[in-house]
Structures are given as structure tokens and as C-alpha cells.
Chains A and B, each alone.
Chain A
């Protein structure tokens, strides 16, 4: 047993750290640390910086213009990026659609779409969930009916993250209403500028319009935008979801959030002493740190299995479950740490404008925002209830 990283991996980590130190603008890192909404231009600026270094598509093979990183290298990059509060790489084109097109797309689709993902011309969003198809994704009802050399799409998608910035959407649509749920679904690429598409923002608990509803009303989509075979979309969707689950543990995010929590707890005063020295609060922080140390190793053990060629299985459900529980526990403690100032609700979208900066320590607004927004962690990407079902069924055979 040797639990240390190889010298190559350590050198890679040092290189990533240096790059982040030199190239990550301070203002962007501050916004990340304070959980502020990034503009489209800010995401694009960071993508361009990574693209210049050849690191935008770390998970893509070199032949498609990616960095061809190993699973361990990807983990190191994601962890260091999170620790530096760098913007996350918007996953929809790069982490989700890219691998699907590389495996199942036609040569024409690969040539047409992959370079535009890399150079930032296209911003993709994900058209999976529907009002009636959340955890039960296979029950999607949006239809695509063949009409000559087009499909005519009607229906509604929801929870479309950052869809307000997107010019393309990949969708699961029903092409065979008579088939069994999973068998009549196709995977379609749709230009968001097509007539008949309406995007409506959904404001979340903390006041940001992070997700959207997307409505399709007789939207005509050229048949060449079908990925793979008609009615085989569920296979591609599942393949995509396995990619959605890389970095599902969020070790880097948790580590960065824990560091912020400790900093805040040292600055806050309770009973005349730093809150970090309060026995009750210190015990709460220690318990979550111990959990994170173990979960981090679970993550690395699974990465090592992946590096040895074993496909990630239902074990990733345990990472999702524990990883999101730990992050939410840290968010909860951070909100507790700022005490009464968690009461202030700095949301223009919901509560109207404030006269000035919110009260209390500078982290208070961020603590509330992160706590409220990260309730989503245990809901999205397959809710934690769905993950428990997978664990019971696949790992225990119950």
C-alpha cells in the first residue's frame, strides 16, 4: 500500500497550482469565495484562459483537442480549482455532451460541434428533466415527430441550469410513444434560436435565476441533429450521466468550504472567545472534518479503481450521497457561524434592493446564499433518495 500520489501527479498538482496563482483573476476568485453569481462573460473569460493553456477539456482525448488527463489528473485539477475558488468549467458541453458525441456522434457531428465547444462559440445546456420527469427521468413526454427531413418538437424541459446563456440544448425527446418508457427516447441537438423556443427563468430560494424552464412549440429540428440511432437515446443519456458523476464527491469544494468555515469561526466571538474554541462548535467542525478526510480517501480509492480500468459503478452513488451530505453540513455550520447576521437576506430578486452592503461580517451574505443554494446538492444529479435506491439495489442486491 502506498497512499501517496506519484511524483508525476505531484508535479502536475504543482503546475496547476502555479497556473491558478498566475492566471486566475483576483476578482473572479473573490466572487467564487463569496458565492456570487458569475456573468456569462466571466465564465467565458475563464474558459478562454483554460483553453489557451490546453486545459479546458481535461477529460477529452487528445485526438479531439482535449488534454487527455487521467482520472487522477482530472481530480487534481478540479480539487485545486475549487481550493483557489476558480469558476467551475461549465459542464454541459465539455463534460456531458462532448463525451457523448465522441462515442456516439457521427463524424459530421463531431467535426461540427466539438471545435465550437472548445473555442467557446457554443454554450450548451441540458434538456433532460421535465415537470413530470424528475427522479423518474425515463418518463419524459416532450415529443419529436418526424416530418420529412425534420423533427417537430413539442413539450417542456425544466431545471435547465444556466440555460439563459445557452445557444444550444441537447434534449431527451420521445420519438416512439408506443414503446416502453426507456425504449422510445431519442437524443436530439436543438439550436436555441429556433422559432418556437421560449426560455423562462426560475428564481431559487436564495434569489438567483440559476435554472430555467424551456418550452418547445412546434420547433423544427433537422434530422441530422439526431445523435446515434432513433429510440436509442436512453443509452446515450445513461452514458452522459456517468460523466455527470465524475467529481460528484466535490472534495475540492468541501475542502475550500471547510477552510472558509474555520477562518470565519476564528474571527467570530462567542462568550468572549473565538467561536473556533467553543467546545460545542469545535466538536461540530471536527466531526465534519473527520468525515471529509474519510470521504476524500473513498474518492481516491474509487479513482484508483478507475485508473486501473474498472468502470465506476454504483459506488459513485455513495460518493454522491456522502459528498453532498458533507458539503451541506459545512454550509450549515458556516451559516451557524455567522450567527444573527445569517438573518439578513441580500436578495434583490426576491426582497428588493438594500440601501448598502449587508450587515455583519463580510462572509455573512455568502454563508446564507451558499446554505440556501446548496440545498440543491441532494436534489440534482439524481436525488439522494434515488442514490440510496441504487446502492440498495446494485450493491446490496435488495
Chain B
């Protein structure tokens, strides 16, 4: 049994962390190979395994970095590789193409029927919360009869953009007879979506680690009643609980990373996303509370971490949704 990363994975994580410390832009991350590390060799990358994704995204999470790597590469390039669009997948993994993936529709919550439909190569429908849509070069759209590729900008393609709680941006995408090319069956989504959920959970783990470290530092230095508040046993016990829950989340992320290519994948997706979503909300709420007023302020560095943790539960199905999925997958 071996829980360790390979030497290459460790080196990539370290150089990624150093680059992020310098506040590098997305282009620098692609230059380092962070995108290619997320794709397998047969799709033009040099990684794409669970541990690769874990290493990259936990590092990004620790830096609270906002990047297109999750939606554009793990999900976007992942789908393109799965359907055999290898050139575009490679372009996405190197940052030359920017992919947005349009799956969910208004009124659907975390499940429901896709209504966006194609007729004579033209798509009509509405997609909600499409991350990175505004500056995408290509959109992958889930329609009633499979996956379609739209090259942006296009006739009949309209967007309404807005900021997201995780620091990125998304848009409502309205397709009105938009030219599109069918690229594959909807079932090809499952593996890239599982990988994207691993990426999100690993990112969330990184953010949680940083939030706990920041809070611990604060408890050591903040004094009230003449002593550091971290010296109060009531506070110590809460930090101990927090750390224990984050350790649980770490193991859940490892579970999914190790099962991304096993028959037990979907059960691990449900288990990990449910547990990480629950712990992320707990960490967000507790780290704010343990800071007191300063934890509520935008200018303190906890605020974007807390919002990102809260946002994580609302993406790709929340903890309740995945709890129900787990029950369904475990039945019989």
C-alpha cells in the first residue's frame, strides 16, 4: 500500500505552488504544464490520473487561485478526449483553446431532463451557470441526443454573465438556432464529470487546509482577557474537531483519487462529494466564527476562502444530493 505521490507529481506540485506564490496568471500555469498534467498521454497530456488531479488542485486550492483548469481542462478537455476530439483537447490542455461546458438548465437544480435540442445542426435551448462561458473559444453543450460543440462567437449564441461566489465568472447561455456539431453520446460525460468532482474536492481540501492554518495563526496571536484566545480550552477543542474533520475530508479525496478508474468510481464520487461538501460548510462557518468580526470582513484573507468553500457544496450536486446518490448506488 502506498499513499505517496510520484516524484514527478511532487515536483509539479512544488513548482506550481512557487509560481502561484508569485501571483502568476493562468498562462504561467499552462506553461508549467499544469494543464497537460490533467490529461492522459493518449490525449496529448502526461498525466490525467486521480493523483495527478489531486496534486494540481489541492495546490491551486491552497493558493485560493482562480483558474480555468477545472472547467476548461479537467471537464472540457476531458470530454473532448473522451469523444476523440484530440487536437482540441490538447489545445485546451495547453491554454490555446478555452472550453466552457454547458450542462445544467434553468429550473433543474442538480438533476432533471435536458430540453436543449438540435435540429439540422442548430441548437436551441437555455443553459445555466456555465462557468467560463464569456471568454470561451468553444462550448460543449449537452442536448437531448448527445454532446455538441459550438465555436464561439456564433450566430444565435447569447450570454448574460455574472460573478460567482468562488471568485470566477459564469453566464446564462441562450442558444437560438446556434450552429453546432455533434461530437458524442451523453454517457461519455460520466468519467470527465467524476474527474471534475475530484478536482473540485481536492481544491476544496486545499482551501480548507489554508483556512485552518490561518485560523490557528490568528488564535495564537489574537489576545482577549489578557491571553491568546487559542489558550482557551473551549476554542482548542473546536479547533481539534475542525482538524479531525479536515483529515476525514483528506481521506475522502484520496479515496476518490484512488478509485477514479475502478468500477466503484461512482459510489466514491457520491461519498467524497457528500463528505467534502459537508465538511467545507463546517470549516467555512467555524473559521469565520473563531475569528470573530474580522472573519466577516472582505479585506481579511479568510473571506474569499470561506466563500469558495460554500460555493464548492453548490457545484456538481450538494452534499444532500450526493448522499441520496450514495444510497441509490449502495442499494441491492
Contacts and interface: CB of A to CB of B under 8 A. Distances in A.
Given A359-B160, A372-B310, 19 more contacts: A129-B293, A132-B223, A159-B293, A205-B297, A205-B303, A270-B111, A332-B281, A339-B110, A339-B318, A340-B104, A341-B314, A344-B164, A346-B162, A346-B163, A355-B162, A359-B128, A359-B162, A371-B310, A375-B288
Nearest to A383: B292
Given A134-B293, A340-B104, A379-B289, A347 B109 contact: no
10 contacts: A139-B225, A202-B299, A269-B107, A328-B285, A350-B298, A356-B160, A372-B307, A372-B310, A379-B292, A389-B234
A205 B107 contact: no
Contacts of A352: 163
Interface in A330-360: 332, 335-336, 339-347, 349-352, 354-356, 358-360
A135 B321 CA distance: 39
B297 A270 contact: no
A355 B173 CA distance: 13
Contact of B315 (A136, A343, A347, A351): A343
A136 B224 contact: yes
Contacts, number: 147
A368 B165 contact: yes
Contacts of A202: 297-299
Interface in A291-341: 328, 332, 335-336, 339-341
A279 B224 CA distance: 45
B314 A360 contact: no
Given A355-B161, A355-B162, A339 B314 contact: yes
B110 A207 contact: no
A203 interface: yes
A335 B106 CA distance: 17
A311 to B, nearest CB: 26
Contacts of A211: 293
B320 interface: yes
Nearest to A208: B298
Chain B CB count within 10 A is highest, among A207, A268, A336, A352, for A336
B214 interface: no
A203 B298 contact: yes
A178 interface: no
B269 interface: no
B243 interface: no
B53 interface: no
A193 interface: no
Contacts of A350: 163, 298
Contacts of B104: 340
A376 B163 CA distance: 23
A157 to B, nearest CB: 12
Interface in B145-171: 160-166, 170
B315 A340 contact: yes
A347 B314 contact: no
Contacts of A375: 285, 288-289, 295-296
A354 B292 contact: no
A13 B160 CA distance: 46
Given A202-B297, A269-B108, A343 B129 contact: yes
Contact of B165 (A281, A343, A360): A343
A99 to B, nearest CB: 25
Contact of B109 (A159, A340, A379): A340
- Main secondary structure, interface of A, reads mixed
A12 interface: no
A241 interface: no
A358 B314 contact: no
A41 interface: no
Given A336-B320, A356-B160, A383-B292, A203 B170 contact: no
B277 to A, nearest CB: 10
A343 B164 contact: yes
Contact of B297 (A132, A204, A271): A204
B165 A342 contact: yes
A322 B288 CA distance: 18
Contacts of A139: 224-225
A358 B315 contact: no
A359 B129 contact: yes
Interface in B298-332: 298-299, 303, 306-307, 310-311, 313-315, 318, 320-321, 323-324
B263 interface: no
A358 B292 contact: no
A340 B293 contact: no
A280 B323 contact: yes
B235 interface: yes
Contacts of A204: 296-298
A161 to B, nearest CB: 11
A275 interface: yes
Nearest to A281: B320
Contact of B235 (A328, A360, A385): A385
Output the residue of A271, A343, A358 with the most chain B CB within 10 A.
A343
B234 A269 contact: no
A388 interface: yes
Contacts of A359: 106, 128-129, 160, 162, 170, 172
Contacts of A270: 109-111, 321
A385 B286 CA distance: 12
Contacts of B165: 342-345, 368
Given A340-B315, A343-B129, A378 B289 contact: yes
Contacts of A159: 293
Nearest to B111: A271
B229 to A, nearest CB: 8
A19 interface: no
Contact of A275 (B109, B281, B323): B109
B172, B225, B293, most chain A CB atoms within 10 A: B293
Nearest to B112: A269
A346 B165 CA distance: 8
Given A134-B293, A135-B224, A340 B128 contact: yes
A343 B111 CA distance: 16
A335 B306 CA distance: 15
A339 B318 CA distance: 7
Contacts of A142: none
A344 B315 contact: no
Contacts of A135: 224-225, 292
A207 B298 contact: yes
* B163, B285, B311, B323 interface centre (most CB from chain A within 10 Å): B163
A187 to B, nearest CB: 22
A349 B112 CA distance: 34
Contacts of B170: 343-344, 359
